[in-house]
Amino acid sequence: MFRADQTLEAKRPPPIKVLSGQLRSAEHRGTTDGGDTYDVRIGGGRSLLVSLVWMQGTVLEAQLDRNTVLLMDETGTFAVQGVNNIPKGKPCLSEGKYVMVMGVIQTVSPEPVVRAVKMADLSEHAALHRRMWKLEVEDLQQVMA
């Protein structure tokens, strides 16, 4: 059965793996049905148009009264909003947890802010996820560019 919200989801491109430092230097390129689109530089003079991102990082601070968590990856910090609305997201919201966030870019400067669509706790294998994350980001971006 077709749902009305499937049309919007069908228009939205898949999430792109990015680092917070890449978002911080991204440039706004416009607004579409899928939300704001940003030009993210990926090296070698290339860039990708991005609106939905996949990011990973360590929870530095959870401000549940403000529906926000502050995360840090190897290139800096970024904020995630809407965390109280994510099904099964509560276990991810403790300081020190290593988490994955899929979300829509809200702003990139002075600090990236993403509105969460999905979150998952990756803490059980955090050391492996941390080591592999930058390589995963670089690999996907090379394929996408």
Terminal CA-to-CA distance of the chain, rounded, Å?
Answer: 35
Question: What are the C-alpha distances in Å from 57 to residues 2, 13, 68, 142?
Answer: 35, 22, 14, 21
* Mean pLDDT, range 126-143, rounded to an integer: 90
Q: Closest by alpha carbon to 105, among 32, 142, 53, 46? A: 53
Report which of residues 145 and 21 the model is more confident about: 21
The mean of the pLDDT values for the chain is 87
User: Which pLDDT belongs to residue 78?
Assistant: 98
User: Which pLDDT belongs to residue 102?
Assistant: 96
pLDDT over threshold 70, residue 4: no
Q: Where does the pLDDT of residue 12 fall: very low under 50, low under 70, confident under 90, or very high at 90 and above?
A: low
User: Which pLDDT belongs to residue 6?
Assistant: 45
Q: How far apart are CA 126 and CA 114, in angstroms?
A: 21
* Mean pLDDT, range 95-99, rounded to an integer: 95
- 84: left (phi > 0), else alpha (psi -120 to 50), else beta? alpha
In this predicted model, what pLDDT tens digit does every residue of 108-128 receive, in sequence order? 999 999 999 999 999 999 899
Contact 97, 80 (CB under 8 A): no
SS3 111: coil
* Mean pLDDT, range 116-143, rounded to an integer: 91
User: Which pLDDT belongs to residue 11?
Assistant: 57
In this predicted model, what pLDDT tens digit does every residue of 23-66 receive, in sequence order? 999 999 988 776 789 999 987 788 999 999 999 999 999 998 99
Q: How far apart are CA 138 and CA 67, in angstroms?
A: 30
* Mean pLDDT, range 78-96, rounded to an integer: 86
pLDDT over threshold 90, residue 1: no
